Structure 1
Amino acid sequence: MILHELLNYEILRVIWWGLLGVLLIGLAATDGFDMGVAALLPFVGTSDAERRVVINTVGPVWEGNQVWLILGGGAIFAAWPPLYAVSFSGFYLAMFLVLAALILRPVGFKYRNKRDSFTWRTRWDWALFIGGAVPALIFGVAVGNVLQGVPFTLEDNLLSVYPGNFIMKLLGLLNPFALFVGVVSLTMHLSHGASWLVLKTEGAVQARARRFGTFAGLAAIVTFALAGVWLAFGVEGYRFVSEPDHFGPSNPLLSEVVRGGSWLDAYTTRPWIMIAPIMGFVGMAAQVILMRLWSGWSVVAGKVGIFGIISTVGLTMFPFILPSSLNPTASLTVWDSSSSHMTLFIMLVCAVIFMPIILAYTSWVYKVLWGKVTQEDVTSNPNAY
């Protein structure tokens, strides 16, 4: 009970905001290179044997990496119920596309070798490409929409309402800025996937992965910078009219929010958050350079870049989580869209117990499966994809 009292409602809300960011970063840093590898499959492998090598670099780990996706969804559901309700309703179409693409991945892995046919296997290779590229793109599109504000409002009973028909909602999500942020996400994942292939393969596959990864890494740096410029001059920010109650109930309608200024005003009031975009640029640049020198450290540098890029979004928007473009007062923030104090505390205890177990097991799996994948490995192993 003493710990429960020390971790007051405000602190727990900030902790779970940070943990949500950790889960998103974990997803991008682990399942992200799976998606990058799948998206690069038709380009870095020119023969069936080479493509089997590429697939088997992620074959043993991709299922475990998707745990981060499940944890992220579960954390949003339990720690941020209003965010879960509003976002899963507003991004229903986007999430359907992501899930449909992700379903192609296990099916592609399992069915690709069922027939010794060039046409059959090529079709599944492109299905795996879709399963990697589409989620990476859509995740970025979702972030771009969040930065602009999502077109929803809340009724007095806190029921979320999205006006418009199917076509209007879809076209609203696929706006120029959101698509551009999607390109940032896609190139980031491609670069990370290429770094993994440089680490895990050799010969022609490694050379092609290094070439594609260098291009994707440079593209990620440029698009990340241009997205920041676009955000500064082309996207309005959100702000509170008066300081909200950090210990108040989870009811966004009790706080008054308006649009105006720039999201980048946060760097004036909290200059220390500049470390996030710096980490993004330095990490991605180091990944490109190290991809030609020390492949293992290139993967680490890519994860640093991912940490910086995703942290940049979260820290820039704080305390906003999901702004509303239709009714700014309905915007969801850290201070008014969480679960109860007791729920957050119990969940934190569970996270402290189980998160180290997950990390330890994941580390052990990667240690056991360490080493390069060769054509001899996949041809001699009857369990290989």
Structure 2
Amino acid sequence: MMQLNALLLTLLTVAFAAGMPSKTSNSFSWRPRRFFGLRGGSTKTAAGGRLIDGEPTTMVEARTLHDGTVFPVTLSQTVSSQTVGDAAASGKNAADWVKLNRDHLVNDLLPKHGAIVLRGFDVPDPDAFSEVVRSLDLEEQPYIGGNAVRTVVADRVFTSNESPPSERIPFHHEMAQVPRFPTRVMFYCQIPSKEGGETPIVRSDEVCDILRKEFPELYERFKKEGVRYVRVAPMEDDPSSALGRGWKSTFGTEDRETAEVEMKKDEFEWEWRDNNELLTKSKKLSAVRTVDGKEVFFNQVIAAYSGWNDSRNVASRAVVFGETGDHLPEEQMKEFIERINSVAVSFEWKQGDVLIIDNRQVMHSRAPFVKPRRVLASLAR
């Protein structure tokens, strides 16, 4: 474990899964407490992570998994008067701090916990977030092949899904519907919503355990057949739909021939339709994969199946089994999605928060919200 240069790190796990910090000026350690689930309980989390009496709530901000791993792990910077001396230690430059601790964050904490929340650091605007992203020293992942409408706002930084705030975006792995997907996703909260707008996350290895144990027939079909994704894209962006990214933006081109070159790279089948719309069908893609020795439910199945109906697409037909082309069983999918929601984590965004996700093992979603809200994103490999 790398030295932290006289910097105190405290594991918060904003809900009451927090551990007691080990007070040392040059190491990172904690003693995690076991999580007591909110569902069905009689406690909820107050501001600052304290427990108060009250009615149960569905917002679970952190969980301790069966192996004792805290999900997500939340890191905060605390500085004593004796340790303030440089930009990284004083918190004046979050990018310098991330650069200093990059190996530990990327190679140790992220694979273990699946998600990291950086809270209380000085990240005032998109440019500062861009510096944090670059300090992670990860290969940039272009947003080519994605379905959502996005706008670039800084180097390697763009808006998160711009679909209407009244709509929930279901759980998904970013760009899992294409062969070239990002392995890490970074989010940054510039403006938190006063109501809603959380970014719920869930561990896909836990989801796969649920699928295998509680829905064994469905598990076997997903594992054996894989899935294919079907989508009709407009020519230009349609911000009224979560799937509204036009094919020009999707493939970064103005002409059909260049778009076809990109589709060939990913082995898509396609059909040009009236009004310059484009129907695409992916090749057969795995729905169950192995990451670091664990089976994960890595795909876009939940988002595609329970997601968006628009003038071009019907959600229940947007994903099919990869070999037979059969539609997914409605009743089983409904129960499965309910179980996924029951083990999800959803924390309240605070201004300046940065969320780093291992996209291979964690799905994310978006809760409906009341404007204003601005959460930005960056993709990497």
| TM-score, with length taken from structure 2 | 0.23
The structure richer in strand per residue is 2
The structure richer in helix per residue is 1
| TM-score, with length taken from structure 1 | 0.22
